[in-house]
């Protein structure tokens, strides 16, 4: 009996509800929840509560932060804080759409490829290999350049870049679950392939997909901002965070223009990262958490 095994394991099986509340109490997860709720409120209510109009010049240009303009004004005299808040409306719905579509497409392809195997698997894998052989930003840049700037084309570009990740993830999960005994048992009693996939394999494969999707939400927002920063994706005068940072770069000494959107992106990336962690601990407490 090794010394390490002498420590007694006191974790008991907890009900799901108590697990959720335990996980939610952790500071990082709590932070993630606060962020998530905050941006959700902003998304819904900003047009009601915003101090100013995000697209209209409301004051002199390039004013430093003050009581009336907490983040100052930009090069066209618009209130920066308002634009930051409205920026959520630009990036978050698109990011959500990308994640949902990428997950759906990726899961379908990955599940079929993993379960059926054979040439279907080979074809899907080769396609993902080729797409993933590009550094994502270059591919997305090329696609958006080809299609033209604008959020809709940005959406398409990011979707094309993102779906292979989920296809690979789900395929891997399906492959390992396929080997497990309860699947063998189902096969031995004559269940159809489709039924096995649906009822036995997918419920277990879904967890990492959900966790990943949550964490990826922030990453997609960041990616979209990066594209906008480069002049693709969102177009002026839309208050997308990336293009606001470009403006901030042009007015380098007026630091307040770029600070807001950067911090906004940071909170979204961090917050959803933590939420994903928390989700993982709720759904699958056996996987290794932070020490």
Partner 1 sequence: MSAPTSYWGLMFRFIFRRLVVMPFLLFGIVTISFAISRFIPSDPLISIVGERQLNNPVVVAAAKQRWGLDKSMFGQYSSYMGNLVKGDLGISFRTKTPVVGDLIDRLPATFELAFTAMFFGTVGGVLLGVLAASRRNKFADHVSRLFALVGSSLPVFWLGLVVLYVFYARLGLMPGPGRLPPRVDSPEHITGFYLFDAMLTGNFSLVWPILQRLLLPAFALGWGLMGIISRLVRSSMLDELQADYVRTARAKGLTERIVFLKHALRNALLPVLTVSGFSIASLLTGAVLTETIFSWNGVGSYAVAATRSLDYPAINGVCILGGMIFLISNLVTDVLYAYADPKIRLQ
Partner 2 sequence: MNSLLSIKDLHVSFGNGPNSVDAVRGINLDVERGEIVGIVGESGSGKSASMLSVLRLLPPTAHIRGSIFFEGQDLSNSSSREMREIRGGKIGMIFQDPMTSLNPSFRIGAQITEAVMQHSDVSTKVAVSKATGLLEVVSIPRPSESMSLFPHELSGGMKQRIMIAMAIANDPELLIADEPTTALDVTIQAQILEVLRGLRETRKLSIVIITHDLGVVAGLADNVNVMYAGEIVESGNVEGLFYQSSHPYSRGLLSCVPRLDIRESALHPIGGDPPKLSERSPGCSFQPRCKSSTSLCETTKPKLKRSVLSRLMVSCHNPMESSETAKATI
Which residues sit at the interface with partner 2, rule CB under 8 A?
Answer: 1-4, 6-8, 10
Closer CB to partner 1, 173 or 219, in the complex: 219
Q: Which of 230, 103, 228, 241 is nearest to 162 (CA)?
A: 103
CA distance 148 to 150: 7
C-alpha 36 chain-centroid distance: 12
Closer CB to partner 2, 10 or 15, in the complex: 10
CA distance 133 to 136: 9
48 binds, among partner 2, partner 1, none (CB under 5 to 8 A by kind): none
Binding site for partner 1 (CB under 8 A): 2-4, 126, 129-131, 133-139, 141-148, 218, 222, 225-226, 229-232, 242, 245, 248-249, 252-253, 255, 258-259, 261-262, 265-266, 269-270, 273, 291
* Closest approach of partner 2 to the CB of residue 10, in Å: 6
* Closest approach of partner 1 to the CB of residue 227, in Å: 10
Which residues fall within 8 angstroms of residue 103, CB to CB, at 6 or more apart?
166, 209, 213
Task: Name the region of 63 (left: φ>0; alpha: ψ -120 to 50; beta: rest).
Answer: beta
CA distance 283 to 19: 9
270 binds, among partner 1, partner 2, none (CB under 5 to 8 A by kind): partner 1
* Closest approach of partner 1 to the CB of residue 291, in Å: 5
Omega into 280 within 30° of 0, i.e. cis? no
Q: Is the distance from CB of 242 to CB of 229 less than 8 angstroms?
A: yes
Closer CB to partner 1, 119 or 253, in the complex: 253
Phi and psi angles of residue 238, each rounded to the nearest 5 degrees, phi first: -65, 140
249 binds, among partner 1, partner 2, none (CB under 5 to 8 A by kind): partner 1
Closer CB to partner 1, 13 or 291, in the complex: 291
Residue 115 token pair: 């379960």
Closer CB to partner 1, 105 or 187, in the complex: 105
203 binds, among partner 1, partner 2, none (CB under 5 to 8 A by kind): none
119 binds, among partner 2, partner 1, none (CB under 5 to 8 A by kind): none
Closer CB to partner 1, 125 or 177, in the complex: 125
* Closest approach of partner 1 to the CB of residue 238, in Å: 18
End-to-end C-alpha distance for the chain, whole angstroms: 23
């Amino acid at each position: 009996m090794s010394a390490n095994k002498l420590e007694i394991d006191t974790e008991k099986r907890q009900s799901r509800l108590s697990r959720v509340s335990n996980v939610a109490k952790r500071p990082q997860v709590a932070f993630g929840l606060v962020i998530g709720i905050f941006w959700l409120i902003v998304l819904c209510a900003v047009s009601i509560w915003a101090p100013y109009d995000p697209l209209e010049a409301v004051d002199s240009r390039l004013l430093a932060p003050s009581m009336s303009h907490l983040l100052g004004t930009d090069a066209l005299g618009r209130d920066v804080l308002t634009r930051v808040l409205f920026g959520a409306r630009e990036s978050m719905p698109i990011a959500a759409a990308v994640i949902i579509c990428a997950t759906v497409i990726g899961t379908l392809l990955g599940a079929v490829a993993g379960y059926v195997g054979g040439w279907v698997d080979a074809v899907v894998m080769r396609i993902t290999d080729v797409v993933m052989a590009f550094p994502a930003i270059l591919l997305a840049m090329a696609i958006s350049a080809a299609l033209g700037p604008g959020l809709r084309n940005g959406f398409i570009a990011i979707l094309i870049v993102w779906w292979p990740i989920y296809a690979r993830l789900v395929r891997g999960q399906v492959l390992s679950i396929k080997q497990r005994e309860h699947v063998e048992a189902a096969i031995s009693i004559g269940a159809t392939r489709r039924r096995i996939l649906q009822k036995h394999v997918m419920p277990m494969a879904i967890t990492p997909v959900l966790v990943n999707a949550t964490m990826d939400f922030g990453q997609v927002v960041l990616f979209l901002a990066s594209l906008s920063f480069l002049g693709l994706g969102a177009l002026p005068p839309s208050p997308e965070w990336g293009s606001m940072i470009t403006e901030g770069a042009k007015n380098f000494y007026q630091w307040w223009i770029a600070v807001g959107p950067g911090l906004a992106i940071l909170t979204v990336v961090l917050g959803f990262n933590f939420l994903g962690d928390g989700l993982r601990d709720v759904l699958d407490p056996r996987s290794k958490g932070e020490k």
